[in-house]
Amino acid sequence: MNSKIKKILKKKNKSKIICLTAYSKNIAEEVDKYTDITLVGDSLGSVLYNYKTTRKVTLINMIDHSKSVRLGVKKSLMVVDMPYKTYSSNNSALKNAKKIIKETKCDAVKLEGGKNIINQIKILVKNKIPVMGHLGLLPQTAKGKFKSKGRTAKEKKQLINDALLLQSSGVFAIVLECVKTFTAKQITQTLKIPTIGIGSSVYCDGQVLVTDDLIGLNNTNIKFVKKFVNIKKNINLGLKKFTIEVKSKKYPSKKHSY
């Protein structure tokens, strides 16, 4: 087992796991200083390409961005999302996961789903490809308005069963997206592997956010997003200074000219 994955597993019930997204080397370098897990999420579809759904994200998109991220990740565990329809069957899952691992040199892949993709997960694990699970809200297959999961007794039972199935199939951690607090808490307490929450309460073993959201680069009003800094202010300040200096002929000075 990857030594970085062992470290993640040891954090269960001991210290919170930090997970953030990165889609390029420059952001990855900064994120890597703080994270246990750096995720190249298919959220890049909406963040970078303005897609209304992650279903438009391709394998090539994920691989190209992951290659860039790999250059910036030194210490954290690098996980790459397998995009929509790239793991529909056992054969496609194995073929595409191998391609991602080989071309990006990432540490693990992430798949969305429970019982419906158990066979694919087992095949990957059998072939020594580390897998992170993802339950609750599943952006790749969700239809209509996004809603929280685990609200009813039936939903709660299904999520717990799926989580246990994923665990027994060999995933090393599970992302819980938009899962009701009481359900996320029970899943976390039931499992031996860590849960990484996003909109799923403080009771999860760790938390993940889209970096562009937390630094205020995106204009989003999603309930679980907290802007920890407004990077746009600094960007605008720099752009304004550049514009003023160019117009006043202060830039480029001799120092910045050949």
Are 154 and 183 in the same domain? Answer: yes
Angle at 170 between CA 168 and CA 171, to 5 degrees: 110
Are 56 and 175 in the same domain? Answer: yes
Q: Is the separation of the CB atoms in 196 and 17 below 8 Å?
A: yes
Count up the domains in the chain and report the number: 2
Are 151 and 71 in the same domain? Answer: yes
Are 151 and 250 in the same domain? Answer: no
For the segment 158-183, the average pLDDT, to the nearest whole number, is 98
For residue 36, pLDDT over 90 is answered with: yes
Over residues 213-245, the pLDDT tens digits come to 999 998 888 889 899 999 999 999 999 999 999
Question: How far is the C-alpha of 125 from the C-alpha of 255, rounded, in Å?
Answer: 56
Nearest to 138, CA basis, from 42, 208, 60: 42
For residue 192, pLDDT over 90 is answered with: yes
Are 216 and 246 in the same domain? Answer: no
Are 64 and 181 in the same domain? Answer: yes
Q: Which domain holds residue 255?
A: 230-258
Over residues 106-153, the pLDDT tens digits come to 999 999 999 999 999 999 999 999 999 999 999 999 987 778 999 999
* Domain at 120, CATH number: 3.20.20.60
Name the residue type at position 9. L
pLDDT for residue 147:
87
pLDDT for residue 31:
98
CA atoms within 13 A on the CB side of 242: 6
**Marked catalytic residue, from 30, 103, 112, 177:** 177
Are 150 and 246 in the same domain? Answer: no
Nearest to 195, CA basis, from 166, 224, 156, 221: 166
Structure-token pair, residue 75:
């210490």
Q: Which residues contact 255 (CB under 8 A, 6 or more apart)?
A: none
218, 224, 229, 231: CA torsion to nearest 10: -10
Q: What is the DSSP letter of 120?
A: H
Are 190 and 246 in the same domain? Answer: no
CA distances for 132 relative to 30, 80, 196, 214, angstroms? 23, 9, 10, 23
Are 236 and 185 in the same domain? Answer: no
29 is catalytic: no
pLDDT for residue 144:
75
Estimate to the nearest angstrom the gap between the alpha carbon of 216 and the chain centroid.
Answer: 17
Are 160 and 234 in the same domain? Answer: no
Are 129 and 234 in the same domain? Answer: no
Q: For the whole model, what pTM was predicted?
A: 0.96
CA distances for 181 relative to 150, 196, 213, 231, angstroms? 9, 13, 22, 30
Q: What is the DSSP letter of 82?
A: P
pLDDT for residue 221:
80
For residue 188, pLDDT over 90 is answered with: yes
Are 146 and 236 in the same domain? Answer: no
Q: Is the separation of the CB atoms in 120 and 111 below 8 Å?
A: yes
